[in-house]
Amino acid sequence: MITELEMGKGESELELGLGLSLGGGTAAKIAGKSGGGAWGERGRLLTAKDFPSVGSKRAADSPSHAGSSPPRSSSQVVGWPPIGSHRMNSLVNNQATKSAREEEEAGKKKVNDDHQPKDVTKKVNGKVQLGFIKVNMDGVAIGRKVDLNAHSSYENLAQTLEDMFFRTNPGTIGLTGQFTKPLRLLDGSSEFVLTYEDKEGDWMLVGDVPWRMFITSVKRLRVMKTSEANGLAARHQEPKERQRNQPA
């Protein structure tokens, strides 16, 4: 049963930004008992208070580095990965100095971008980054990752996502538990649509551009409620519109 208080908290925490998994510590698999809303706030959202040595390091996503994550002081789930706070503080401090260094190197590497292979794999600082990108779904706190290089088409990708978030095997519960029929994320006939954020930071509906072009420009995916997908281009400019969230 969802009380008003829970619902209110859950809603405001779902607000905070595209792609951020919120309401930390949430059991992502909801057995359909009380719906998504009740789980909006299990555990605490990490705040700067949890990282006492971090000042205002809550960096906004910087689009500078495709694939390489910007230094963020708050991870998306409370207490995950399970690293003690002393160690976490030390890592966060390292991130700050490292990102400064990396941005210098990024400047040098941009020149070579044209020679990069067409798929999403890049080599940054000697480490191979696979074609994994984050996928978040409205109402589910824990994000997932998909390997774009393992897919050949939009249909392929949609199938994987449907399996991932709405597993249809009997005896198992998908991440939201309630839906057991295929979603048809691409044809606009279901409750959800698939959207993506491109390199310029704009959110678009998936499926409009050729696949090869898509995988070079996609930064991350979001399974969004159809009701919210209206006026997609304007969304990231007016976060206040999203106050009217419905519980999942």
Contact footprint for another protein (CB under 8 A): 1, 3-6, 9, 21, 25-31, 33-34, 38-39, 41-44, 46, 50, 67-69, 71-72, 75-88, 90-92, 94-95, 98, 124-125, 127-130, 132-134, 142-145, 147, 171-173
Structure tokens at 217: 């420009």
- In the complex with another protein, the residue whose CB is nearer, 158 or 207, is 158
How far, in Å, CA of 219 to CA of 196, rounded?
A: 7
Residue type, 232: L
E-only strand ranges, the chain: 122-124, 127-129, 132-137, 144-147, 192-198, 203-205, 218-225
- In the complex with another protein, the residue whose CB is nearer, 86 or 240, is 86
Minimum distance from residue 132 beta carbon to another protein (Å): 5
Q: Is the dihedral of CA 115, 62, 27, 230 positive or negative?
A: negative
- In the complex with another protein, the residue whose CB is nearer, 93 or 190, is 93
Q: Give the distance from CA 224 to its chain's centroid.
A: 11
Minimum distance from residue 207 beta carbon to another protein (Å): 24
- In the complex with another protein, the residue whose CB is nearer, 182 or 231, is 182
- In the complex with another protein, the residue whose CB is nearer, 5 or 237, is 5
Minimum distance from residue 130 beta carbon to another protein (Å): 7
Minimum distance from residue 192 beta carbon to another protein (Å): 19
Minimum distance from residue 241 beta carbon to another protein (Å): 25
Are the beta carbons of 227 and 246 closer than 8 angstroms?
yes
How far, in Å, CA of 4 to CA of 12, rounded?
A: 12
How far, in Å, CA of 104 to CA of 106, rounded?
A: 5
